[in-house]
Amino acid sequence: MDVSRNINLLGIDVGFSRSRPTTGIAWSANGTFGAAKTHTDWKRRQQHLPAATTFSVIAIDGPLVPDGSPDLLVRTCEQLLARGAFQRRCKPGSSHFGTGLQLKRAALETANQIRHLVSTPTLSQAVFPDVAIVEAFPNAFLGVMLDEVAFADGRIARGKKFDRMYELAVESGRLSALMSHLTWTAPDLLHTIEAECDHERRAAFICLLTAACAARGNAEIVGDPVSGWIWLPPSSLWANWAKAALEQNVARLAQTDARR
């Protein structure tokens, strides 16, 4: 099945500045695609979406937890992707305090804005039972596909981590390999993704690829029903270090839970 011809997808890099355009949006629908950078309000966000389009899956770069979850909820997916080798490479921030809590609230606001754009849900591991909205985390999405050598000798500078990982994923052909794995035949879209230089639009494109993995049913999903899931590339595309790190963290967390 060719993703580009059969499934409409949307990716949103949330952002939460009320004054600056920090939201990235990328979509693919009916064989066409687009991307934009805009603000947080729905009035301006919707201007960058194709008219009268519903999406099979929407991926949002922001912590998504079940409705009614407490602010202080500690998330399993964040614990599993924040320890060991992940810690200095592509870990998520904690979403139960500080900036992470702000982002979690912004992600929920975004999800509520776009719920009506999602068609019949088909996902069993989505925090909202009535809509196919999944959580993307672009840093980890890119990081797990990069070989260990990519992180050596300061090649990925702190503060510019996502953009450098994006560039390395392009240079190493990892994004091209992912689209091939998804049987997504869209050379113009791939070229646009690989040539993109804007931070927010780049993040939105990774969210779009996250939505594609979810739609194809071969994403690696990390988390649990209580605190939500982060959706990542298929495990067959993960670097060996990332596979080993996740296995180790799963075992460590299980040991911790057993002692309680």
Residue type for 244, please? A
Check if the beta carbon of residue 193 is closer than 8 Å to that of residue 205. yes
Q: What is the pLDDT of residue 260?
A: 61
Q: Which residue has the tokens 């050598």?
A: 149
Check if the beta carbon of residue 245 is closer than 8 Å to that of residue 99. no
User: The tokens of 68 are what?
Assistant: 């009614």
Residue 21 belongs to what domain range? 3-259
CA distance 28 to 157: 31
Q: What is the pLDDT of residue 258?
A: 63
Q: What is the pLDDT of residue 35?
A: 97
Q: How far does Cα 161 stand from its chain's mean position? A: 15
Q: What is the pLDDT of residue 5?
A: 57
Q: Per residue of the chain (260 residues), what is the pLDDT tens digit?
A: 556 556 899 999 998 777 899 999 999 998 899 999 999 999 999 999 998 789 999 999 999 999 899 999 999 999 999 999 999 899 998 999 988 999 999 999 999 999 999 986 768 888 988 899 999 999 999 999 999 999 887 777 677 899 999 999 999 999 999 999 999 989 999 999 999 999 999 999 999 999 999 999 999 999 999 999 999 999 999 999 999 999 999 998 888 776 66
Give the total number of structural domains in the chain: 1
26 contacts: CB under 8 Å, gap ≥ 6:
10, 11, 33, 34, 35, 201, 204, 205, 207, 208
Q: Comparing C-alpha atoms, which of 183, 202, 195, 192 is closest to residue 136?
A: 202
Q: Which residue has the tokens 């201007």?
A: 47
Q: What is the pLDDT of residue 32?
A: 93
User: The tokens of 189 are what?
Assistant: 């879209």
Q: Comparing C-alpha atoms, which of 79, 60, 45, 47 is closest to residue 10?
A: 60
237 CB burial (10 A radius; 0-12, 13-18, 19+): middle
Q: What is the pLDDT of residue 75?
A: 96
